[in-house]
Amino acid sequence: MKKTILGISLMVLSDMLAAQTASVATVPPVVQQCVQSDARSIAALKWQQLSDNWWRASYLVDKQPFTKVCGYNNQEVSIALPVRETFIEPEVISNLIAKYGPEIYDITKVKGSDGQDLFVVRVLRQGQIRIEQTARL
């Protein structure tokens, strides 16, 4: 089982660079069911096609980001994003999620030259990772 999850995760990460953003209308209904099965209220839903059979869904539930990789035959893998490279206070994470939405890939806390905490945020959009840097929120 671990090998299967690791294999799917590696496939997803390697395919993200070639991913294309898709509207809900172009996502096959059988794939959409993996997100719709979540009974909670979903906001800011975005889909990216990773391959012929796999799609990535990023969305917010109660202002918290969720990411699932969904495939045909009711296959799904939940991915814990954003990755936190260091300890980050919960209120800072909430503020960054409010600013960048479910597309946050990872957050790293670093010290600025003046000793102030800075946060390096990498955002995954349309298969491309963009680096943002923001001062203490």
Average pLDDT per consecutive 10 residues, the chain (137 residues; last block may be shorter): 40 41 69 76 85 87 84 83 84 87 87 88 84 75
Residue type, 90: P
Parent domain of 90? 83-135
Distances (CA, A) of 122 to 21, 63, 66, 75: 18, 18, 16, 27
One domain, residues 8 and 69 = yes
The domain boundary, picked from 32, 59, 79, lies at 79
Q: Counting beta carbons within 10 angstroms of the beta carbon of residue 117, is it exposed (0 to 12), middle (13 to 18) or buried (19 or more)?
A: middle
Answer yes or no: do 46 and 68 share one domain: yes
For the question of whether the overall pTM of this predicted structure is more than 0.75, the answer is no
92 and 54, same domain (yes or no) = no
Determine contact, residues 67/58, Cβ cutoff 8 Å. yes
| pLDDT score for 137 | 61
How far apart (Å, rounded) are the C-alpha atoms in residues 38 and 52? 23
